[in-house]
Structure formats: C-alpha cells, structure tokens
Structure 1
Amino acid sequence: MDFSTKEDYAFELDKKDDLSRFKEEFYIKDDWYYMDGNSLGLLSKKAEQSLLTSLEDWKQHGIDGWTDGREPWFYYSEKLGKMTSPLIGSKEAETIVTGSITTNLHQLISTFYQPAGAKTKILADELTFPSDIYAIKSQIELKGYNGEQELVQVRSRDGLTISEEDIIGAMTDEIALILLPSVMYRSGQLLDMKLLTEEAHKRGIIIGFDLAHSIGAIPHELHDWNVDFAVWCNYKYLNSGPGGVGGLFVHEKHLGKKPGLAGWFGSKKEKQFDMEHTLAHADTAGAYQIGTPHIFSLAPLLGSLEIFEEAGIENVRNKSLKLTGYLMQLIENRLSDYGFSISNPKEDHARGGHVCLQHDEAARICKALKQNGVVPDFRAPNVIRLAPVALYSSFHDVWKTVGILETIMKEELYKQFEKGRNVVA
C-alpha cells in the first residue's frame, strides 16, 4: 500500500473501498470506533430482521413454526450450515450450525479421541484459549487417563506465537489427536492449517482446528486441506449476537461415524420423531448435534450470512488485510515514541484479522480508549487487541482510532484509571 498519515488519505482509501456500502447495514453510533469485532461483532439490520422473522413465526404459528413458519425451525441448523460452507471451504453435508465451541469440542473430541496402544496423548499449544484446554483435559480423564500427563502442549518461543516447525516436531508416535487454533487469540498469528494437516496425516494423527478467530475474516479450504474436524463460534466476525449458536465441520470421509455424545437432534430427520430408544444418527455433520437448537440465537446468523454471500469472503479478507496493514503503519509512524510494540506477525499470510499491541499500561490505556469513543479489547497481562472489521470499519475509523490513542498517550489520560482489567476484559 501507498501510505500517508494525513486524514485526506484515509478518506481516499474509503472512496476506493468496494465494501464501504455494507457499513450502512450495521448499527453504529456517531463518533464511536468499534475495534472489538474479534470478540463480539455488531448488530446488522439483516440480523435484526431475521430474528424478528423467527419471533413472528412463533407468534403466528406456535408449535407449527417448526415446519410451517417462514423459516422452519426444524431445518434451520442445516440451512445455516449450507450458507456457512463457502466461508470454510466445505461441502454442505460436512457443516452444521449447533452448540458452542466448547460443547462442540466435547462432542468431536469424544468422537475422534480413541486412545489405543502407544497413541494416548492429545497435542495442543500453550497459547490457546483456556476453554479448549479444559475440554481436552476433561475428555482425556473421561477415557480413564491423567489429563495432565496425556496432554502435550507445544511451547511458544516468544510468548506470543507458535512455530509450525515446533508443532510438527511434537507429532510423535504417542499423539492420537491434535487440536489447534487457526489464529492465536492474543497475537493474531495465523497457522498454516494445510501444512499441519498434511504433516499430521503422514503420521496417522487426527487433527482439528478451532476457527474462532478466523471464520468470517479469512477464507478456508477445510475439505480440500483434508482437515478432520473443526469448531467455531459465530458471534465474532460473523456477527450473530452474544452467545450465538456455534458450528462444526466433519470431513466427509468421517461422516457416518457414531457421535461420541448422542442426542436426539443428531437423528436422521425422518426418524427423529419415531421416538425409538436406539439412535439412528444422521449421515451428515448433523449427526453431531445434541439438543434442540436455540432458535432465537440461531436466527440472527441468517441475516448476517446473507451479507457475507453478497460481500464475498475473498473481498472481506482483502479489505481486512488493508485495514490492519494501514493500522500498523499509522501505529509505527505516530506512536513509536510511546512504548508500543506490534506483536502480531506482519506478513499477510501469517496474520488473522486483528492487530496485537503490547504496552506495560495496556489495561489503563484500554479504559481511556473506551472513555474516548474507541472500543478495544484487553488481554492480560499487557495486550491491546484492535480489530477493524471489513464489513463495518472504515479507513477513517482506523485513522481516528490512532489519533485518539496518540492523544491519550501524549496527555497521559490513561493515568486517571486504576491498573488491572475489568471483570469482563
């Protein structure tokens, strides 16, 4: 990118932005610079409308909304799975919208972790989100093993990133299953999922990914990469709302495998209401559903995915790279004297959708940013995450954010706040 720190340059970038029209689809307050879409995406008008549609179906049809509403609830998870498939490079039958990241992890680890002989260990990394580790240890213990001893965590060389070389080096004969994040939630490092999958399969190891910080921000090719399974949430870049229902992927070569955790929504649709006590599970990813879908947490995702269908995930990724590239350039040019360091990988192929800033006063700086109209994210002990989101962030928003941050540092406005994070960081 060409580069200038002047405000006019930000406006020029916005004029050339083919996705700028989508900002009008979202509810954004004036003088509010939302840089936390990697934690919770904003509400769109389409998502609001799809939720209202399901409420109207309930109002008009009662229980018949399961089959007779404008958006029949009985098939909603399958419909949304089909719409999600282009974002992850999967086949329709491989994808379902259901559960949450952690419940889906429990489901898929219980399904694919089958320790036998020397292969008893699960490989993860030491930087992944804690909930994933809780699920792994729990599943190891449910199989009768020691959760501490049978979990292998690849160490980070710098406290922020994980070397793919080190991950591959840890793929020993004892590893039965691997679970890794696609993008490191603190630093924004994007792992090479294709390479890691190839290396795992050379060694006969099942491998899955947590896509929480990549789905909706980068394209994937899970089917072609031969990834065994994946899980994700839909409330970050996919803007489905707080606590929105998650999703899972199971490669077609595994479809038909008995789910580790059985539930009636994993039934074949035509058999579900036979009420038999022997599960006839679906031959699609729908088999890995457990309970009745949470319709009002599913519904906003329909409207959001309609926006992605129109925008195109490749276009979203291209703009995201430009936004974060511009943000990093502004930080380096305007904030170099204030003790910040950019800690995410700077190469396009190696970073996700957010910028990771480190600063000793990160917690207080985040509080000052919020008081001045910027919504960032703090991660202990010293990380500020800034995520300009392609569908609703402009280049001028990025310019304003850095300007506000510069003023906070120049005038030491952060010093009026107490150190330490809030209850919800």
Structure 2
Amino acid sequence: MIPFLFLFVVSGKSKIKVQLIIGLAVVVAAIIAIIFIVLLVRLKAKSLSSLKSLYFHLTSKNDERVEAFILQYGSLAPKRFSYSDIKKITNSLKDKLGQGGYGSVYKGELADGHIVAVKVLRKSKGDGQDFINEVASISRTSHVNIVTLLGFCYERLKRALIYEFMPNGSLDKFICNQGSLKNHQLAIKTLYEIALGIAQGLEYLHRGCATRILHFDIKPQNILLDANFCPKISDFGQAKLCETRDTIVSMTGARGTCGYIAPEVFCRSFGGVSYKSDVYSYGMMILEMVGGRRKNVNVEVSHSSEMYFPTWLYKQLEKSEKLNLDRIIADEEEEMTRKMIVVSLWCIQTIPSNRPSMSKVLEMLQGSLEALLLPPEPLLSSPAPISLQNSNTTSSVIMQVRPYSDFLYELVQ
C-alpha cells in the first residue's frame, strides 16, 4: 500500500514537472519566434529601404542628367511635358500607329492643333541613357532630312518623345516585297529622291553639325516619310556624339540592327568604328530599296548570306545583263537604278577605308553613271576597276583604263 502511494506521489510530481517543462519550452519557442519575426520584418524593411534608396538614387541620377541637359541647351532644348500632358495629347493613348522593342507610337494633337507622333518607351527600358541620348542628339540638329523633335516627357520610368507627324509612316512598308504591299511600291525616281535625301541627312550628321553624330541604326524602319515622301532620319537612341576631329570612336558592345550592322561594329578586326559604319548601313538599305536584299535568287552557288544578293547584282552589272529585280524597270529608270546599285556596292565594302564618305556618295548619286567604277566584288574578290556606260538599249560595262587606286583615293576623301 505504501509503495503504491509513493509511486503515485512521484508520478504526480513528474507529471507536473513535465507540464512545466513543456510550458516553458512553448514560451521560449514563442519568444524565439517573435524575435525571429521581428528581425525578419526589420531586415525586410531595411532591404526595402535599401532598394528604395537605390531606386531613388538611380532615378535621381537620371533626373539630374535631364536637368543638366535642359540647363545646357537652355531655350534650344525641346519643350518638356508631364505624363498627364502625354495622356491628354494622345487621348489616353488610343490611336496607336505602331510598336517595336522600344515601346509604342501614338498619334496625338497638341493644344494648337498640330498633329504629332508620340513615342512612349517601355517602363523597363534601361537606365534612361538611350532616352537622354536621343533627346540630346536630335536637339543638336536642324535639317530637312532629320525628324524634328517637338518635346519630351521624363517622369522617372515614364518617358515619351514627341515628333512631327509623318503621314506616310516608315520606309519599310513601301519596299517590302510581300502581299498587298506590292501595290504600294514607289517609282524608281521616288526611291532615288528618297536615297538622295537620306544621304543628305547623313552627310549633315557627319559633317554639318558642330558635333559629329553617328547614328548606328540606319534601316528602313527608322526612315520616316512626310506627305511628299521627303525622308526624315529618326530614332537616335543608339547614336553617338563625337568631336568632328575624331575619326575612330570607342564603343563597348555592338549597336544597330542585324543585316545592317557594319562588320567592324561587331568585330574590330575589320577596322575601327567610325562614320563609315553608317555608310555601310546606308548601302545595305539602298540595295533593299531597289528591290533586292529579301529576294531569293535561284542561281548555282554554295552559300547564302547577307552578301548573297549584292554579289548576284554585281555579276549582272559585270556581264551587262538587264537588271532582273522584283519590279518592272522602264528603260528610262535603268540608269538611275544601276547608279543606286553601284553606289551601294561601294558603301558595303568590308574594309571601312574602302567605303566613300557620305559627301562622296552624294557626288556619285548626282553625277553620271559613266563616271562610276564598279567596286571590288562584295566579300569574295577584288576585280579590276570597271566603268559603266549606256548604250541605246541597256547599260553596258566596259573596262576603264583609269587607275583604281586614283579612284579609290577620291572616294575616301
């Protein structure tokens, strides 16, 4: 009986002790959990504060760039609009004209009734450097073949550019060889005038500005056409400003669009990056304008590349063949077309120093076909210099005695 009572007492005390231990453990665990939660909340708050601080530091830095730009240009700086102004101008972004990797373009109307195109950039697009670059570049220009920037908006991640409205949109829709767009093909004379206008615009950027501007993204999508098909160079997001005396510029990474990028831009072993890189892009674009770069040519060759069509065209010119393009070319248009092709073939020479300046491009376009020599064959070989001369039926090709080195020297001046 007594041992049983003793066990009962001992068991009762143990039970109470176990309960106390469990209770104490729960309290300690709760305290630890509370401390952990408090620390976690404080750490998260600190992280958010740090991220917020970093965000405001970066945005403040970008705001400082914009403010510095406005102070630098003073009254010459384009007008700055608020984002609420942008919403009002575009009627809450209703009339979309197009879109791309940069964002979207909307049709709008200023308070004075002026119709404009508003390019609204994506919120996630970079640190704002491309935006500031574009505003700074275009603000330095004043030329009939350069698009006019009327204003801009910069409110942290909300950015927009306001341009003059171009009724005929971009050049690419008129030179595409697909579907119903064939009905919108422009006459060779119109294409020639467009090529001439673009060349004048580029020549102005390279030599006419106090600070030389290299565009680095010349392509049909970045050429806008007004009501009279006067071309305007646009989209200066990848442009680089440099002193006029600088021949070679330093760059980190490639700029431009695949198919129009000069070889030296993505591989320095071809030569230094300079204004000649814009010349290459111009040449590739003109070849596309005259009906070519997207065409599949059914001839016996063992390779296919961006240089494929230029090489095929070169062979036609060399053999005095009548041009076989996707368009019907009248006899009076043949010489004009050949001239554009020959000039383009000079522009796309692999070695930058072999390409003409835009001043020389203008001279060649405005000169006679007979005065032009065929350049070395694209990529593959360097044939003897050849001059082009018209016959009564179609242009023929004859050998020219004039030294190639002399002609090349004149080209690069």
TM-score (norm 1): 0.22
- Higher RCO by CA contacts (8 Å cutoff, separation 6 or greater): 1
Name which one, 1 or 2, has greater alpha-carbon Rg: 2
